[in-house]
Structure 1
């Protein structure tokens, strides 16, 4: 199945949502917390202003008097009294460590000798309190804590409800996104399978197209040796008839004539055998090229592959007046798909022959060479064509790019060959300059062998 643009848009929207929902959640919680803090500060501010006014009028002389006044203004809560040297004189909190923790928290925010209001950062717990710190000069400090619910009824519930609703929405959205992600994953897997099938069909189509280009030459090449064989067979028949006549006259004619006849027959039979082997080489090469199922990687004798391709394309080169030669120097096999290597060579050599055929160079030749090292096996196709400029060389492996005239090329041969080389863990590169021909090099990994000859 193919993923439509609508489904692709949904997938993109889901990813954007998942990426952005985290920061939005944190921002929402911070904003809610800040709003609740402002409300709590506003609720406690009148009591702090009154306490500061009492301190300013010098009516409060002790911290105990200030605590009594605060308890009259605010609901009863926790309190801690501290003298000038920061020693705790009294408190209704029994835990000493809790006393010190609360004092340290308020001091860290407001300082030791500053009257202020402390509101917790996350006012969500019912036991959270708002603390008033009132400094009485000459007496010490009063820390008076009022629970949030007592100071502002419903604040904790409202804040908790907002977080609960938003968290539920977050969980639901993530769950839906996960479900949708599995749907997208399935669709992408189907698209990948479809793409692989289409690529395979394109490769097969290119392979058949490349073979079709040499069918005419193959037919001509086979017909020529067959005609010679038929002619030689007729000549052998005539020789046999002469032999019969000579046997009949054996007593009258010299034995020398009979020996000459046998020599002529042997010569003709040798010609027939040679031309028959030539036909066999051509047909066997074509059969190897046309076989499917060569996708699996294995040891590949690149010398044999070059010979097969050479037998197929030799007639085309000869007809165009091009000298086509191959030099086999690879001493180790490559590890690749033999069908892919054949298809790459067929495309590259075909292009080389076409390039030489359309050039004005006097040296009209195409040479295919094989080399090997301890790491790589190389097949190089060199031609004496017109060569490529830097711009053309940079685009030569692009799909549908061709330098041939309209109707003479699809621009897919080299693109597919380059892709097939990479699929076999190799590479197809080109070296060329205008007026100096081109050289394409196919590099393949070496197959694992028991030994390597000395280099």
Structure 2
């Protein structure tokens, strides 16, 4: 009833993995960056305190003097000198745009008139830590020192962390693939098992529905067989009389002999008619019991309805219920003939049961067929008690039944609904209390070369 390939599960597992690893990666990078920034602040703090001590002791009064002191303390650094008007007066960085960018980054974090340390948000080994030293009355000195100079071995540590991270990432992806493959295999096995169980359930329901009409069919076949046996005995007696009459043919009028032949002919006609009736009943039952007819083809719904109604008629007649048919479908449906038969047998049997327990004067089940441009409809309407809104909303649930205990499994309509959906159709119900119920099976129209005139 539900066919599902789990090929998309790998993509689902990958999406879950990416959604989960993304925030985790960002969080880990942010935490590592913060830890490294703290180490860089601690590493650069002595140089900043040294510069502040020189200003407090009046050893340095200008930006140029401060720059020379810092160059002696931290050689091979980058530096930018800015006056009190925020104009860059000197730098060992040739690119003026880069000078302005670095100054703006430091100012945006630390302000214009405060000595501080600036560490980049993403501290790569090639990045620099900048000291911002404000010299009152002269300007500011920006002195950049590479992280490798402050923390020897930073490049090696960064490479080791990067290697470890990618190792963990590859391991996580590999485990995700293994896990998705394992779950994919298990789900495929469960799907195969479920499909087998569903097929057995459908077959059991088909046999159950047929069993419900066996008693009526047996009675229906028994009547014409009794007539055939009776007529055969009568023909035998006529043949015995005929032998006597042939011996007396010269003594008796010929009209007596002709009358005997006429009676024999009438009896043989009755036997032939009743034999055809038995054959039709048996052929209808054989068509209904044929297994494996699940391939979708062009189905004449009128013919299918006739077969099912013919099989259901004995049970309905025994209960005093009339089954009427109205054929207005002029195009075939594209569906499985066996599935359509099974659906109709379930629905018509339920309709007969619903009318049987009602006390209404009208005891009818009407089966109608209709066709539109895109759909073929089969409607089964009964004059039973009808359904309340609560019952109508649950009528297609598995194991839900309104019948007394032991008279129904509650699977007939549920399986019928699933079979309708499997054939790209639908099974719906309209019902009101004391107004009967109407079940409509909708099926797609089969592709035909030409349609008869309406």
Query: Could you tell me how far 1:95 is from its partner in structure 2?
Result: 5.0
Output the TM-score relative to the length of structure 2.
Answer: 0.89
Aligned partner of residue 358 in structure 2, secondary structure:
coil
Q: Is the 8 A contact 2:348 2:380 kept in 1?
A: yes
Q: Is the 8 A contact 2:384 2:434 kept in 1?
A: yes
Q: Deviations over 1:293-349 (max 9, x none)?
A: 211100111111111112211111112222223222221111100110111111111
Instruction: Work out the CA distance in 1 between the residues paired with 2:163 and 2:444.
Output: 61
Instruction: Work out the CA distance in 2 between the residues paired with 1:323 and 1:89.
Output: 109
The corresponding residue for 1:236 is 235
Instruction: Work out the CA distance in 2 between the residues paired with 1:253 and 1:329.
Output: 60
Q: How does 1:154-233 map to 2 (within 5 A)?
A: 154-233=153-232
Instruction: Work out the CA distance in 1 between the residues paired with 2:253 and 2:334.
Output: 64
The corresponding residue for 1:265 is 264
Q: Deviations over 1:215-267 (max 9, x none)?
A: 22212211110110111122223333334444444444444334433332332
Q: Is the 8 A contact 1:18 1:177 kept in 2?
A: no
The corresponding residue for 1:450 is 449
The corresponding residue for 1:74 is 74
The corresponding residue for 1:146 is 145
Q: Is the 8 A contact 1:36 1:159 kept in 2?
A: no
Query: Could you tell me how far 1:32 is from its partner in structure 2?
Result: 0.9
The corresponding residue for 2:425 is 426
The corresponding residue for 1:412 is 411
Instruction: Work out the CA distance in 2 between the residues paired with 1:177 and 1:184.
Output: 10
Indicate the larger mover: 307-316 or 196-205.
307-316
Aligned partner of residue 283 in structure 1, secondary structure:
helix
Indicate the larger mover: 165-174 or 90-99.
90-99
The corresponding residue for 1:35 is 35
Instruction: Work out the CA distance in 2 between the residues paired with 1:221 and 1:248.
Output: 42
Change (3 A) 1:382 1:146: same
Instruction: Work out the CA distance in 1 between the residues paired with 2:259 and 2:57.
Output: 150
Q: How does 1:18-29 map to 2 (within 5 A)?
A: 19-29=19-29
**Gaps in structure 1 of 5+ consecutive residues:** 1-11
Q: Is the 8 A contact 1:124 1:160 kept in 2?
A: no
Aligned partner of residue 439 in structure 2, secondary structure:
strand
Aligned partner of residue 381 in structure 1, secondary structure:
strand
Aligned partner of residue 442 in structure 2, secondary structure:
strand
Indicate the larger mover: 261-270 or 334-343.
261-270
Instruction: Work out the CA distance in 1 between the residues paired with 2:410 and 2:35.
Output: 66
Instruction: Work out the CA distance in 2 between the residues paired with 1:14 and 1:67.
Output: 54
Instruction: Work out the CA distance in 1 between the residues paired with 2:13 and 2:281.
Output: 59
Instruction: Work out the CA distance in 1 between the residues paired with 2:363 and 2:257.
Output: 48
Aligned partner of residue 292 in structure 1, secondary structure:
coil
- Number of equivalenced pairs: 443
Output the TM-score relative to the length of structure 1.
Answer: 0.89
Q: Is the 8 A contact 1:386 1:435 kept in 2?
A: yes
The corresponding residue for 1:437 is 436
Aligned partner of residue 213 in structure 1, secondary structure:
helix
Q: Is the aligned partner of 1:282 residue 2:273?
A: no
Query: Could you tell me how far 1:206 is from its partner in structure 2?
Result: 0.7
The corresponding residue for 1:322 is 321
Q: Deviations over 1:97-141 (max 9, x none)?
A: 54454344434444555543221122122x221111233355443
Instruction: Work out the CA distance in 1 between the residues paired with 2:13 and 2:91.
Output: 57
Q: Is the 8 A contact 2:118 2:130 kept in 1?
A: yes
Q: Is the 8 A contact 1:377 1:444 kept in 2?
A: yes
Q: Is the 8 A contact 2:13 2:176 kept in 1?
A: no
Q: Deviations over 1:272-297 (max 9, x none)?
A: 12111111111001111111121110
Q: Is the aligned partner of 1:64 residue 2:64?
A: yes
Change (3 A) 1:64 1:15: closer
Aligned-residue RMSD, C-alpha: 2.6
Q: How does 1:91-102 map to 2 (within 5 A)?
A: 91-94=91-94, 98-102=98-102
